[in-house]
Chains A and B, each alone.
Chain A
Amino acid sequence: MTSKLLHRGSHEAQDELEIILSQAYSTFQAQLSASYLSTVPPAQRGPLTQALLYAILIQPQGGGGAGASSATSSSATSLINQLTTITTDGYAAFVGLLLRLVNDSYAKLLEHPRGQIIWLLKQLIEFYATDVDNLCLLLLRQIMLEVLTTKISWVTSNHGLLTSAVYTYLRLLPDHSMAKNSSVNELRQAEIKFCASMIREHFQECLGIGRDLIRLLQDVSSIAEFDAIWRDLLANPASFRVPSFTDIGQLYVVKTHTRYFQSRLTPEMEAQIKFMLTHVRMGSQRRYQGWFTQRFLSTPESETLVCDLIRYVCCVHHPSNQILQSDILPRWALIGWLLKCCKSNHVEANAKLALLYDWLFFVPKTDNIMNIEPGILVMFQSIPKYVDMTNSLLEFLFLLMEHYDPPRKELLHRGVAASVEILVGKGVVRNLEPLATAPAIALPLREKLSQL
């Protein structure tokens, strides 16, 4: 039997979900062409929902035949109206079926059902259907992945697109694994495969991403494909077939371009952050922070955005001298707030890493003091009222220096020393005295400071 939903190879078994849907459709086909469904016993609701989904997906555009009265019309619109009359769960079951179909079989969907799915999405959004946002996100990911994989030669010749795609996927993959909807496995595997192959086969281009590539790769190191990449990066750099690449340390000193950090923020987030750092006076930021949190940081999944925001504020937004000398909200104050937004330990650690990352590898010739300025100022300005923050950041800094990359400890020590030297040298802080002498800061930390 020819499939009306999915491409099917000559020796391929029919898809399980498609069987369920089409069988339900055959059972209820006659009832569906009636203009209303008589009271549906609860036992029938499930199969009827499946039948309606199948019917809508195969429904030709333009609805029922010419002259069909509303009593017999089975246009997609009247079908969805019928769905509405039998739905008692906010369309949860219906969306669940769609999620499964899009997740498992998007790549195989025929042209027409694909179009119907987009139409359905819009209807479901109007209905405020349960889980419709997950469906939207899933579709976005599927479409993006499909475009990238089917036009792969175009992607790989467009280096900017390739590196942006790799950066984006690496950044999103940890979030996706935290998502409660674990049925995204197939899609995730395809994304992992795409990303890993781009890194291995186009390593030269990916090197251009710079040091934040390392930071992102660490967050996915528990995934088998990336674990393998890690081991090769550390022990077998030649496997990437880029003659000039002999050690991971070479990647540390490459600054990541600001466009990557910018890509993680929506235009609206960027506008609001910029506004706060350009027009809002220190002391007046409370309401703006509340609105921003409500809008962008109110769900558990959105917590990881804090790390992207910190990288953006440190590396992309560099205030003018005029602003620096005014009473406008300084970056360190905004970052202090962002650090406090972290609820889980994991995100908090990543956020601190995001703040201090450029410290570790600072190269005076190529790095910008404005990237490291917020870090030292958060530490200084948190004394004495929020000295816990200072302690926490100092402790984390020393931990990083020893344990982030033990074989390359020297490199990291030099980076931090260079950071401190330039911060004092250019007068961002006069010296480290306030940190080294504050009694509220733990003694071991103060001792380590004096060695810097």
Chain B
Amino acid sequence: MLKVRDLRPSVGNNINTTFIILEKYNASRSDGGILMCIALVADSTASVHLQMWGAECDAFQPSDIVRLTNGIFSFHKANLVLRAGKKGLLEKIGEFSMVFVEIPNMSTMQWVQDPTNPKGWIPLTHSSPAPTGPMLAGAASSNPGRH
């Protein structure tokens, strides 16, 4: 079971993690007309933005404890989000009784390319070396709007 703090942007769909939903933001329609919404979710190590599609949007509410299987943590239009994707599954397994922290937020923090791994990204923390390679601006400028 991956901790939210250990999420790394990747194209693979192998994310298995459990979290609690803190807040849901307003839903919108994607280009294809499908309902989409973002939620702030967290576990005891960090928070992240969860992107939900279609029926998922109404199925989950704040305080729900959710298990994600075979999920993806990657970019969707400049937003770094966690989602189930086509092969993944979101399931409610409980309510309320889970400890969480809201900082750091894996979706809004800055990332730098891993010097040892061209395809890898590592979070930019105070103790990280100054970036010399490409850096992701993170989603700091694309906070999902709270209407």
Contact = CB atoms under 8 A, between A and B. Distances in A.
A275 B22 contact: no
A295 B64 CA distance: 12
Contact of A272 (B62, B97, B99, B100): B97
Contacts, number: 20
A399 interface: no
Most buried by B among A272, A275, A287: A287
A275 B96 CA distance: 9
Contact of B63 (A279, A280, A284, A291): A291
Q: Is the interface of B mostly helix, strand, loop or mixed?
A: loop
Contacts of A279: 97, 99
B99 A280 contact: yes
Interface residues of A, number: 11
Nearest to A271: B97
Contacts of B62: 287, 291
A277 to B, nearest CB: 12
A288 interface: yes
Interface in B58-76: 62-63
B15 to A, nearest CB: 24
A446 to B, nearest CB: 41
Contacts of A295: 63
Interface in A284-299: 284, 287-288, 291-292, 295
Contacts of A291: 62-63, 96
Interface string B75-114: 0000000000000000000001101110000000000000
A284 B100 CA distance: 9
Given A279-B99, A280-B99, A287-B62, 17 more contacts: A271-B96, A271-B97, A272-B96, A272-B97, A275-B96, A275-B97, A279-B97, A284-B100, A284-B101, A287-B22, A287-B63, A288-B96, A291-B62, A291-B63, A291-B96, A292-B96, A295-B63
Interface of A: 271-272, 275, 279-280, 284, 287-288, 291-292, 295
